[in-house]
Amino acid sequence: MEKLFIVSILFAACCAVPQDLSGKMFTFPVESRTARVTLLPSQVNFKSVTVCLRFITNLTRNYALFSMASHNTHNDFVIYKTANKGHFEVYTRGKASSFQGLPDEPNTWYSSCSTWDSNSGLTQVWINGNPSTRKAGFKGNLDGAPSIVLGQEQDAVGGGFDAGQSFVGMITDVHMWDYVLSACEIQQFASDLNFTPGDVINWRALDFTTFGHVVIKDDLTNGCLRSQ
C-alpha cells in the first residue's frame, strides 16, 4: 500500500504544474471539516525539517497550522496552536514538544518557523524571528510517504478531520526545508528579506490542491512587513 502511495505521489509530481503564489494567500473563511489545501512535497523522507509560514487568525480555540501524516503516525510533523494563550505544540513522529509564552494576539500577522533536528531530536519555534527555548522531540529520520495538509489536522493519512481543529484565517508564504535553517535565515524570512526558498515545499513553485471553501486571494499586505 505504501509503495502504491509513493508511486501516486511521484506520478502527481510528474503531471502537476507548480504555481508561483507570490503575492497570494490561502483564505479559510469558515470553520469546516472539509476545507483544506494538500501540498505535494518534492521528497518523502526527512532527516531534519524547517517549516515557515505567515498567518493571521482571530481563533482562540485549538487549530493546526501545518499537518504532515504518514503510515507511521498521523502526527509525523504537526504545528499546533492550543486554546491556551501563547501555547504552541510541535509534533515529531507523534511526540509532542510544548512551547509557552509565545506572542499570540488575534487579528495579527505572524511569521512562524518550526524546526526539528533528527540527530538531537531538538525542536524549536520562532515567532517573528524570535526563538523559543529548544525542547526534546523524536530522534531519527521521518520516513514514509507524507500527506501534507493546511487548514485541517489529520487524525488519519489524508483524513480524520475535525471542524473544531480547523484553521480559520489566512495563510501565505509556506516553505519547507529538509534541514534546520540558521537563525539568520529565519530572521530573513521573518523580515521579508531575500531568503532561499524551501527545497521540499516552495511557495513560489507550489504543487497543491484545494478542497472545500478555500479562496486564493491577493495578499494585500504584500510588500509591507507583517511581523511585529
* Three-class secondary structure assignment of 30-76: CCCCCCEEEECCCCCCECEEEEEEEEECCCCCCEEEEEEECCCCCCC
Q: How far apart are CA 146 and CA 59, in angstroms?
A: 27
Q: How far apart are CA 121 and CA 90, in angstroms?
A: 12
Nearest to 123 by CA among 92, 147, 154: 92
Q: DSSP code of 198?
A: P
Q: For the chain, what are the domain ranges? A: 2-218
**pLDDT value of position 193:** 86
What kind of fold does domain 2-218 have according to CATH? Jelly Rolls (2.60.120)
**pLDDT value of position 4:** 45
CB neighbours (10 Å) of residue 133? 10
Percent of the chain having pLDDT more than 90?
Answer: 86
**pLDDT value of position 222:** 57
In sequence order, which residues have a C-beta less than 8 Å from that of residue 220 and are 6 or more positions away? none
Q: How far apart are CA 187 and CA 192, in angstroms?
A: 9
Give tens-digit pLDDT for 172-199. 999 999 999 999 999 999 998 899 999 9
Which grid coordinates belong to 92?
515529531
Nearest to 152 by CA among 29, 33, 27: 33
Q: How far apart are CA 17 and CA 27, in angstroms?
A: 21
**pLDDT value of position 225:** 46
Which grid coordinates belong to 155?
487524525
Q: How far apart are CA 125 and CA 132, in angstroms?
A: 5
Q: How far apart are CA 170 and CA 23, in angstroms?
A: 13
Q: DSSP code of 212?
A: S
**The overall pTM is greater than 0.85:** yes
**pLDDT value of position 51:** 98
Q: How far apart are CA 99 and CA 14, in angstroms?
A: 39
The parts of the chain modelled with pLDDT lower than 50 are: 1-15, 225-228
Which grid coordinates belong to 9?
505521489
The residue type of 100 is Q
